[in-house]
Structure 1
Amino acid sequence: MSPNNNNQGMQKRMLVMTLVVFAFFLAYEFLVLKPQQEAKAKEQAQQTQQAQQVTSNQAPSIANEMNQAPQMVQGDVNTNSVNVAPALGLAPKNVAATVTTNKSKYEIDNLGRIAQVTLLETKYVNEDQKQIQLFDLNQLRPLEVRFSDANINEEAFKTNVVASQASVDATQNKQELVLTQTLSSVVVTKTLTFYPDGHYDVNVKTSTPQTFFLTTGFRPNVLVDMYADHGALLKLNDGTLTTFLDGDMEKTESLTGVKFASAFDRYYTSVLYNFDKSMSVSVMKDGNKDPQMFIHGNGDLTVSGYAGPKEHILLHKLNPELVDVIEYGFFTFLAKPMFVFLQFLQTYIGNWGWTIVALTIIIKLILFPLSYKGMVSMQKLKELAPKIKDLQTKYKDDKQRQSAAMMELYKKHGANPMGGCLPLILQIPVFFAIYRVLLNSIELKGAEWIFWIHDLAEMDPYFVLPILMGASMFLQQKLTPNTLQDEMQKKIFQFLPVVFTFFFLWFPAGLTLYWFINNVFTIGQQYYINSVFEKQKAIKK
């Protein structure tokens, strides 16, 4: 097969792959995700109605499905399982204490669990302009304690805690809240210390030695979509990260040497951590095969926790290793330093929108040598296209001579049939890293840019940026030399700006802004190279 045919085959496969990927995303959005969201909204409405009927002295029933319980780590305890208890629906009368910090309000229910966390900063509002709340009413709640002894566990879910105070103000200084649960054979004392920045320390102690489990709770359910991962993330002593995504849990997994356990959605987390003494954690599936994490305790357990947005600066202040709670996927090794640089630029620029513009320009300048080589190669191939076609016609019955003649032609004119693809392939990791950074950066929440863009983490309300992005992509195509020989491939390629525009309608404005600026500077680079080639052609004439 000739190099040119090889090149055309690769281009065709790239086009087909691109269209298949986008078709999948669009089909998933409208045929799978949307019906799921509608069904979930209906289910939540039913759960809310049921929760309002729950009285303060009611407790969830204890399930006897032992195979669904987390298995004990060898040597940790003598029992093999812990009973599973469904979460108690929240009603106003079930709140035992309320804790207010500078960033959030914690509601502690009558079983000593975190029933709800409301974010207090003005930028954290939902589409109804109400302050964001992290948790659903009927789900596994953070700081729930379960016992391996079935009798104690059953009694614990029927016995209210006694709070040392009903209202705690931790906006200025750290404050302590003590929750005491007196059972027939043991007294459970849960001491919570809250800090102004929203994080807390928790110590769970039993009056007699008992094996118990403390959970992070089910992940926040503020923004769960097809574009970002959500589930459970654990960091081990060796620095490795282990992720269990929603819907993927098949069996209970037990891990030792755990530094932190994070239940997360796209922007928010409920995390428990201990960097001084590592934890043992069991991860079990719920009815939807979603992960639920339980930290092993034996008589006395101390950890720290945080429930809120995955803000890089705050997590770094709590502990530099906690920034690993922000997960960027396969290209994390590139995305992490890129976000640090983005944040560095923002400290000087002061506006996240213009910071994205500046980052895009800087990256385009750094990658310009690669882009230049690719664009020059495409221009040379365009110039040689008529000669290549003549050779294909001349040697249509002798592929070997055709291949040799074309190789000689490429060598004579310094052209590389793969020269346009390789620079692009080398830039793909950078583009994906930026994509993941802008997709997962909660810092863009509530960040204004200009005029109509009041939140870079939300879609453009008037679709101006997606349309500009599509138009710039169309113009970029017109300026870029097209080496495709097949007319059908050309038409498919020309249709891509429409597909991309439609796809970006619901993307965060910050991400669309990056893509638009990237296109604008690519157009500038292509125009410059086209001008250079035109001048060279004029000189040769």
Structure 2
Amino acid sequence: MNNMNQNNGMQKRMLIMTVVVFVFFIAYEFLVLKPQQEAKAAQAKVEQTTQENSAPDVKTSTTQMVSTDVNGNPIDMSNQVAALSPKTIASSQIVSVIKTAKNIIEIDTLGRVAQVTLTQEKYKDEDLNQIKLFEVNQLRPLEVRFADANLNAEAFKVATVASSANIDATSNVQELVLTQTLSNTVLTKKFTIYPDGHYDLKVSSTNNQQFFITNGYRPNVLADMYAVHGFIAKLNDSTLETIEDGDLDKNKDIIGAKFISSFDRYYTSLIYNFEKSLSVSLMPDSNSDVQAFVHGGSNISFSGFMGPKNHRDLEALNPELIDVIDYGWFTFIAKPMFLLLQFIQSYVGNWGWTIVILTILIKLVLYPLSYKGMVSMQKLKDLAPKMKDIQAKYKDDKQKQSMHMMELYKKHGANPMGGCLPLILQIPVFFAIYRVLLNAIELKGAPWMLWVHDLAEMDPYFVLPILMGASMYLQQKITPNTMQDEMQKKIFQMLPIIFTFFFLWFPAGLTLYWFVNNVFTISQQYYINKMFERKRAEKQKAE
């Protein structure tokens, strides 16, 4: 059996490891990833961008070609983009504009989706402009590539003709036909567009010309290290295959997919067919991000959607599409937790108070574990003088020291790991709710109290982060601490300040959860402390 020093050492190492990993997790985002993302965005404005315009035949090598206009001339991105937003598409490139009740879809001269603008009031960026999903230099949704290399090269030089320059599908289902007439085939895309923003699409080519069609590169609105972003496919056996950005190092085929989705934290570009499965080839781009191409043969039909990963909207299209929302490792806990969150919200009507209620419910469910951990820490605190005496008496005989320690634990019903194990068991629940609140687009534009106007954004006045830090400090003060090492004590005393600093930029909904969680942890700890004080007082009277 391990002696007290070993047990305490193990407990402290586990706690320190958890804290260090968490701090590194947050610090890496703000000190490394954010500067890299900003530098990359700035570079995209002044550098010419290249794309792989060859068909995704995994048996042949692909060729790099500069982006071209319909006349075959290279597009000088440095001149265009420098003066415009990286998400602004020149009007000369647009052949049709589709308006639905929820978005505006712009179709470019090559029959691709050039841009999707979300028109609902809550979908605004930091400059209060309506959110646009795609960058001009990304692989665009519904781009077609032919297996015939010569035909494919021609297709990037011939303009598509639209049946209508403007489509109003805000209240009724509408149709749009795009036709591209090439020397050896006619490519036709027939859209059925619905007011909710999704579409059905039939694509065909004459003369049996084989083609591929893509759902495009993921939306580039919010991609950070906190949430998963990249590509996900649901296979016929209902398993999910997720490939995060930067993880695809070679071509890969997927046979039998129900849907494919390229996604960032809140938004998706989605192709699905639940009647006839999709065959898909994945190709890495220069950053090892996924480029997905559906095998179209010479004729294919499917449905698609480009927009927010709103649970109810996806479920309305097809219940299986809720799997587009990826919560990472703890999805199996996070999904039912979100359903509970949504259920509570349907009665409460406010997402902020819903988070408060959910946090209280979680604390009540986990109370038995928390109680055991807190009681164990109090017992160890009470036994500290006796443990110190044993360590001093048997400092030269570790075996006897360990034996007498275990006798002491057994006599008083103490467990040296009792304070740590309940904490470890609660970690999956914590990370599940963390992922839920981080990925829930439903919080976008949701207000709480007077000063929080958007629970998906940071608290504009830092009230919640400061309250969270203060509650963390108070929790630390009233929690028994058996640490002997002064350096470790100082590190833990600094944690409320460190966490407050990083939580300044966290979504207000997540900070609210952590603050309420701290408040109820303090209440529980206060109750346990008072209970032990009464027991000590009764024991002293009895003596």
Q: Give the TM-score category using the shorter length.
A: over 0.9
- 2:143 aligns with 144
After the TM superposition, which residues 174-213 of structure 1 pair with which residues of structure 2 at under 5 Å, given as runs? 174-213=173-212
Other structure's SS at 1:208 match? helix
Q: How far did 1:19 drift? A: 4.3
- 2:359 aligns with 360
Q: How far did 1:379 drift? A: 0.6
Per-residue deviation, residues 381-438 of structure 1 (Å, max 9, x unmatched) = 1000010001000110111111111111111111111111111111110000000000
- 1:16 aligns with 16
Letter in 2 for 1:116: Q
- 2:501 aligns with 502
CA distance in 1, matches of 2:264, 2:246: 13
User: Which shows bigger deviation, 26-35 or 308-317?
Assistant: 26-35
CA distance in 1, matches of 2:19, 2:518: 20
Other structure's SS at 2:208 match? coil
Q: How far did 1:18 drift? A: 3.2
Matched-pair contact (CA < 8 Å) for 2:118–2:131 = yes
- 1:54 aligns with none
- 2:81 aligns with none
Letter in 2 for 1:371: S
Q: How far did 1:91 drift? A: 1.7
Other structure's SS at 2:416 match? coil
Give TM-score scaled by structure 2 length: 0.93
Matched-pair contact (CA < 8 Å) for 2:3–2:401 = no
Q: How far did 1:228 drift? A: 1.2
- 1:315 aligns with 314
Q: How far did 1:40 drift? A: 2.2
CA distance in 2, matches of 1:172, 1:357: 37
Matched-pair contact (CA < 8 Å) for 2:3–2:398 = no
Letter in 2 for 1:410: Y
- 1:98 aligns with 97
Matched-pair contact (CA < 8 Å) for 1:87–1:139 = no
- 2:72 aligns with none
After the TM superposition, which residues 366-445 of structure 1 pair with which residues of structure 2 at under 5 Å, given as runs? 366-445=365-444
Matched-pair contact (CA < 8 Å) for 2:363–2:517 = yes
Letter in 2 for 1:224: A
- 1:289 aligns with 288
After the TM superposition, which residues 127-166 of structure 1 pair with which residues of structure 2 at under 5 Å, given as runs? 127-166=126-165
State the percentage of identical aligned residues. Answer: 67
Q: How far did 1:85 drift? A: 5.5
- 1:538 aligns with 537
Other structure's SS at 2:207 match? coil
Other structure's SS at 2:514 match? helix
Per-residue deviation, residues 488-515 of structure 1 (Å, max 9, x unmatched) = 2122111111121112111100000000
Query: Gaps (5+ residues) in structure 2?
Result: 69-74, 76-88
CA distance in 2, matches of 1:81, 1:305: 29
- 2:467 aligns with 468
CA distance in 2, matches of 1:30, 1:256: 39
Q: How far did 1:62 drift? A: 7.2
Matched-pair contact (CA < 8 Å) for 2:56–2:212 = no
Matched-pair contact (CA < 8 Å) for 1:87–1:141 = no
Letter in 2 for 1:115: A
- 1:455 aligns with 454
CA distance in 1, matches of 2:172, 2:65: 35
Per-residue deviation, residues 240-265 of structure 1 (Å, max 9, x unmatched) = 11111111221011110111110100
Matched-pair contact (CA < 8 Å) for 1:86–1:139 = no
Matched-pair contact (CA < 8 Å) for 1:235–1:259 = yes
Q: How far did 1:268 drift? A: 0.3
Against the structure 1 CA distance between its residues 514 and 62, is the aligned structure 2 distance closer, same or farther, given a 3 Å change threshold?
A: closer
Query: Gaps (5+ residues) in structure 1?
Result: 52-59, 73-78
User: Which shows bigger deviation, 525-534 or 2-11?
Assistant: 2-11
Matched-pair contact (CA < 8 Å) for 2:123–2:130 = yes
Per-residue deviation, residues 338-371 of structure 1 (Å, max 9, x unmatched) = 0010000000000000000000000101111111
How many residues align? The count is 521
Matched-pair contact (CA < 8 Å) for 1:71–1:252 = no
User: Which shows bigger deviation, 33-42 or 390-399?
Assistant: 33-42
CA distance in 1, matches of 2:23, 2:475: 22
CA distance in 2, matches of 1:7, 1:168: 70
Other structure's SS at 2:228 match? coil
